[in-house]
Amino acid sequence: MALVGALDSTLSAASPLALAPRRVKVRPMLAGPLLEVSDLSKRYGALWALDGACFSVREGEILGLIGPNGSGKTTLFGCFAGITPATRGTVMAGGESIDVARRKELLYFMPEGAQPWPDQSVRWVLRFVAGLHRTSAARRDAIVESLALEPLFDARLGELSKGEHRRAMLAVGLLTPQPLLMLDEPFDGLDLRQTRDAMRVLREHADTGRTLFLSIHQLTDAARICDRLVLLSGGRIAGEGTLDELRIAAGLAAGGVEEVFLALT
Q: Which domains does the chain have, with CATH numbers?
A: 7-264 (3.40.50.300)
DSSP-derived 3-state class of residue 132: helix
What pLDDT score was predicted for residue 65?
97
Burial of residue 169 (number of CB atoms within 10 Å: 0-12, 13-18, 19+): buried
Burial of residue 95 (number of CB atoms within 10 Å: 0-12, 13-18, 19+): exposed
Pairing mode of beta strands 107-110, 96-97: unpaired
Pairing mode of beta strands 236-241, 228-233: antiparallel
What pLDDT score was predicted for residue 31?
56
DSSP-derived 3-state class of residue 234: coil
The string of DSSP letters for 104-122 reads: HHHEEEE-TT----TTSBH
Say if CB 218 and CB 209 are below 8 A apart. Answer: no
The string of DSSP letters for 220-231 reads: HHHHHH-SEEEE
Q: How far apart are CA 73 and CA 215, in angstroms?
A: 7
Residues in the chain: 265
- What are the average pLDDT values for consecutive 10-residue runs of the chain, which has 265 residues? 40 32 40 88 96 96 93 94 95 92 93 88 96 94 94 95 94 96 93 93 94 93 95 95 94 91 92
What pLDDT score was predicted for residue 112?
84
Q: Which of 236, 220, 197, 189 is nearest to 50 (CA)?
A: 236
What pLDDT score was predicted for residue 189?
87
What pLDDT score was predicted for residue 115?
85
